[in-house]
Chain A
């Protein structure tokens, strides 16, 4: 056993918050088992490795790469490609790598608008000269390179082939541990790996399956944002007009949010067979709108009444695509006209 080489584990963070790493550490004492079973070969969050170390590994050297974070800039993409080349099994770990998550919400605006918010139009900034980072800058020490900031946030599978996906923002520690056990069994005992392309650490049904709240038939005459209502305990949030993405979201987290009166935000992503989680939830939620008996209304009144209810959902894109924008059918707002011409539409 001592002589047998341990499987090599890498974990990388691209455009992410670090929550995924914390969730891995939250598997508790099992982390000791992980340390025992695996050789850590790249894990910038907890140990000092350099990209050049990875570049020097032979192809396929890494057995398991847990890649978290979205692809926001050229560095993220280069690292993703490098890790793909060096890894046997590439896992999109967490919502950012899987479907863009919060970073991909910036796809609702342009790169220019994002940079303006970060470097110019922000009350907490002190940048009177409007200094912006440049991709190339000459400094006394020589030429300085910075990664290119992309127009659009991409998901990992839009950049490299991905073997498995673990959804969640972040994935739940029990689920992570369960997956690691499967992987460990595969590497140490030759047990079978899940079929390629599988979504791991999540169920096949929607969140409602795990949700203890009691559900009725739905008829919603207005929607509430969390601060506008004190939810009635024990009762389905959606039934009360509180947007809950549970019906359109994979289970696996044990319905953590609805249990404490907060609607599911959808971080475990869509169900099998759904191409666009936001559109599906939009369809479902619109279907619950109640404007009384339509026969009593003329066509204009009917539309106006529906509009009144829809107006209580002020940010549909942010609400329904909070996590899935990067993987949605349109992947973000319409590109700015310049961006189109830039791409060679001429």
Chain B
């Protein structure tokens, strides 16, 4: 027999709720419902006075359950749980009815709103009487952290944590850390040399006693939960002994095989079959590219091995798989550059002098394939005119609808560099809108206007070599509608640079699955809250930083890396955290070991014991989704705070007026 005393509190939220829902009526009606001992309405339940109402009533009337009809539980569940706790009531005896977001703000029909509010209150009351007292579950936080991705965001996060004295495993899948930033020449708007500001950080990472750097490595498997994740990492074979290698570079020099460097030099330069991606690579060790190495292809050569002064080359080396335990994980896996070939009308790959932004970055870099000279594909001729096309793959419903955030600025940087290196060249920047909202960015735009860059407002329709006029002969013609003058323009240039946008990593879905995250439509990882919790994810203990969360520039990536590190450091310092006790558990006396649930858990929290023929749920691993609870055919699994009893009662409550109709009809049908 249920014998609970429920207090119902209906919030006006100023006029947010009271303007649409008849709050007095709802409160008065609630007072007449079964189980309800007290019911009130109040202007702002979340105010301290509102909370005091609850606290006082619990003490005065001995309330055992609290129902607050106000906003979404995502807004104030914590607040009202706190009020219960202050009055000595288990916080899980609270239930909220969302009559603001789901009712008053969603309709202007006052009668319907009031009716719906009653249904939600009734549901909450009916549900609450089945609530059970729950206690948060303490979890110890392992102090080590895994950072995945050695770009600037990952580097920042790793260094922040390491500096704070916490051990870090930094895993990078390429042979060196540095990420995209290492490929850039200058950074906007300050025009610092990218390598000059990045390299010291990379060296810090390489030398930091608290950082275990694992490059040319990938995370294969993750299990566990906040406080204790078990991570399996595959270290791919570099084919050299890192203990012996001094990074002298003789092997690279002697290797007879030259390969077009599609990665670091964006196809503009070459590297050897044994190589470091770039001279400042961290770590300094080269790696043998098995696809091109003569030894791996034909079984002979071994020139590098013969020449190596420390005998560090080892062709027999195998991939190494290791396991680490960490308390938290920061994902900073970065982005892929949009492949400009996907827009055929821009001619990349077909028209020789159409370049991608990354090619241009490498070209203008003094250490790059052209020694920093801006030249056409022939490697000799400087362009007399250059077109920079913004928004390639971005703000385009055929590719990505979002703005990639960085292209306007780097496109202007390109324009500036052309002016600097080829002073008499003309530069045309084709843009949709100029987005220069960062610190010092607008100033940079004005600088470019002064430098004489032609800004043409209009999306480019086509880049072609089909000349229509004599002055177009031998040129690339950029066709666009100049929306400021309202006319079609054909501008002949020597060189076209496509400012490709940022997109989610091609394998971001796979990665998200491995770490138990969500991806948005565009494949970027989903943060816990877009405004208020941008580096946390829905999975406790897993954080995200940098462009894997969405397109962003260097300062934003650095800030997120540091923010994620601060969040993790906070958790490590606390040592123990309390987890929500919304967890599933199996009643072993009712489980028959049918094994239906065994492979439903995404966190592998369910284990079957053959000896006892029952399955068991690890509370620490369970994230509380309830899929196994719904599946269990013998009702042997309980989902705390979302039990069958509670939900069945909620269903009955939410449909109270449907039954009322029945009662009225029955009454009407009974002859007097």
Contacts and interface: CB of A to CB of B under 8 A. Distances in A.
Interface of A: 204-209, 215-219, 236, 238, 246-248, 251, 270-275, 280-281, 283-284, 287-288, 295, 344-345
Interface residues of B, number: 29
Given A270-B635, A275-B648, 13 more contacts: A206-B634, A217-B598, A217-B608, A248-B633, A248-B634, A271-B636, A273-B590, A273-B635, A274-B633, A283-B631, A287-B631, A344-B669, A345-B665
In this complex, the member of B591, B600, B632, B644 whose beta carbon has the largest number of chain A beta carbons within 10 angstroms is B632
Interface string B469-493: 0000000000000000000000000
Contacts of B665: 344-345
B588 to A, nearest CB: 10
B633 A205 contact: no
A273 B596 CA distance: 17
A280 B635 contact: yes
Contacts, number: 85
B318 interface: no
B589 interface: yes
Nearest to A246: B594
B632 A218 contact: no
B631 A272 contact: no
B595 A215 contact: yes
B593 A283 contact: no
Nearest to B635: A273
B513 interface: yes
A218 B615 CA distance: 14
Interface in B186-200: none
B525 to A, nearest CB: 15
B613 interface: yes
B599 A208 contact: no
Grouping DSSP codes into helix (H, G, I), strand (E, B) and loop, the B interface class, with mixed when no group exceeds half, is: loop
B630 interface: yes
A204 B589 contact: yes
B590 A271 contact: yes
- The 9 lowest CB-CB distance pairs between A and B, nearest first, are A247-B594, A273-B635, A248-B633, A206-B592, A284-B633, A209-B592, A208-B592, A287-B631, A247-B633
B390 to A, nearest CB: 31
A205 B510 contact: no
A287 B596 contact: yes
B509 interface: yes
In this complex, the member of B596, B600, B613 whose beta carbon has the largest number of chain A beta carbons within 10 angstroms is B596
Given A217-B595, A247-B596, A251-B592, A209 B613 contact: yes
Interface of B: 509-510, 513, 589-600, 608, 613, 627, 630-636, 644, 648, 665, 669
A219 B600 CA distance: 10
B599 A217 contact: yes
In this complex, the member of A238, A270, A271 whose beta carbon has the largest number of chain B beta carbons within 10 angstroms is A271
A183 B351 CA distance: 95
Contacts of B599: 217-219
Contact of B595 (A216, A273, A280, A295): A216
A274 B596 contact: no
Contacts of B589: 204-205
B513 A295 contact: yes
Contacts of A219: 599
A102 B354 CA distance: 76
B344 to A, nearest CB: 24
A344 B662 CA distance: 11
A95 B312 CA distance: 78
25 contacts: A204-B589, A205-B591, A207-B592, A209-B593, A209-B613, A215-B593, A217-B595, A217-B598, A217-B599, A217-B608, A251-B592, A271-B633, A271-B636, A272-B590, A272-B635, A273-B644, A274-B633, A275-B644, A275-B648, A280-B632, A283-B630, A283-B633, A287-B600, A287-B627, A295-B510
A247 B630 contact: no
B596 A271 contact: no
A162 B596 CA distance: 33
Contacts of A207: 592
A237 B511 CA distance: 36
Contacts of A206: 592, 594, 633-634, 636
A215 B634 contact: no
B590 A204 contact: yes
A295 B514 CA distance: 12
A284 B631 contact: yes
A218 B596 contact: yes
A302 to B, nearest CB: 14
